[in-house]
A and B are shown apart, each in its own frame.
Chain A
Amino acid sequence: GQNIDQPTEMTATEGAIVQINCTYQTSGFNGLFWYQQHAGEAPTFLSYNVLDGLEEKGRFSSFLSRSKGYSYLLLKELQMKDSASYLCAVRENDYKLSFGAGTTVTVRA
């Protein structure tokens, strides 16, 4: 089973950096995903980590430490359109995903 924890809400200023942490416990780790979900819309894929380290994609980066059961999503140069929920999801060896409850990020002008 899964126990995935991430903060409920975060607020940041336009142009700033925000780091969303995710901790998890799993019996068979097979990858960690981050999704973005705007209000009333479907989740959309942001990033994937299966090995330790940092994956960078433009303004978004994701980090994974398997030994610590820890990941973070880093959003740089925040824009108003980044206001959304960010979902951490862990995949076990059976390829099914378990999701955290999501972190709602509000970007203020």
Chain B
Amino acid sequence: IAGITQAPTSQILAAGRRMTLRCTQDMRHNAMYWYRQDLGLGLRLIHYSNTAGTTGKGEVPDGYSVSRANTDDFPLTLASAVPSQTSVYFCASSEEGGTGPDTQYFGPGTRLTVL
């Protein structure tokens, strides 16, 4: 069992280009999340999905879009990248609605540089 995988591991992107970060989980978790992590700011929620077919906006959604066509996949798209989107992006998932604390588990991250 891999848990959560993200691709690519790192990417350098020219400003204005479109980019999709991929996230796949094999834990059959209902909820999935995208965060960005910047030095001194901690993890900030970009978008989330409580279940397949639904998505919601987090704290910093502008410039990003997501889709949740099935339980396992939750891609994050930057339609037209800007340098301020240079960051480390983490995908996470949680069971949501289970009997436990609904702990979020994180993927290994994608380091994105926009020039």
Interface residues of A in 33-57 (CB under 8 A from B): 33, 41-45, 48, 50
Interface: B74 (CB within 8 A): no
Enumerate chain B residues within 8 angstroms of A43, measured Cβ to Cβ.
Answer: 43, 90, 106
Enumerate chain B residues within 8 angstroms of A12, measured Cβ to Cβ.
Answer: none
Tell me what chain A mostly uses at the interface: helix, strand, loop, or mixed. strand
Interface: A99 (CB within 8 A): yes
Enumerate chain B residues within 8 angstroms of A101, measured Cβ to Cβ.
Answer: 40-42
Q: How far is the CA of A87 from the CA of B92 in the complex (A)?
A: 15
Q: How far is the CB of B101 from chain A (nearest CB, A)?
A: 4
Q: Report yes or no: B106 in contact with A96, Cβ–Cβ below 8 A.
A: no
| Residue of A41, A42, A101 with most partner-chain B CB within 10 A | A42
Interface residues of B in 75-115 (CB under 8 A from A): 90, 94, 96, 101-109
Give the 4 A-B residue pairs with the shortest CB-CB distance, closest first. Answer: A42-B106, A101-B42, A99-B43, A99-B42
| Sample of 14 further A-B pairs with CB below 8 A, known A99-B44, A101-B40, A101-B41 | A33-B103, A42-B107, A42-B108, A42-B109, A45-B104, A48-B101, A48-B103, A87-B43, A96-B48, A97-B33, A98-B45, A98-B59, A100-B42, A102-B42
